[in-house]
Structure 1
């Protein structure tokens, strides 16, 4: 599962020399990016959100590991616990 990346974010990162991964994960504009849903409830949640005009895009799973991993352009990478970086 990979996080969605808007084409505008790709263009912005190229134009201003900003690392795209950093922009996506630490840029601060993802107020509605992440929720956790039990696997058995995922399909119903996707349908319910779609019915009100939204969308849910699975981007990963919660595991026993205390590390955040995601797929990034086809390869597994670790996401550091940095959070939003104001004015950087």
Structure 2
């Protein structure tokens, strides 16, 4: 699974993307974020407050409790605001 990170999430982790193979128990976006917290101290800092995150699965915005299914790409980013 390809992960894409944007804005301060990318800056905190130190990379804009990575390939991962989460365990079968990871079924939702929230599960994925929880699992990623254990990957490094930087991941733990970036994903410490899940309420500050949004996600897209295969380029479609989704709620964090959405199932991953056979997702090939997950993007994680802060809420987007505009003017």
| Range class of TM-score, shorter chain | under 0.3
What TM-score, normalized to structure 1? Answer: 0.25
- Normalized per residue, the structure richer in strand is 2
Structure number with greater Rg is: 1
What TM-score, normalized to structure 2? Answer: 0.26
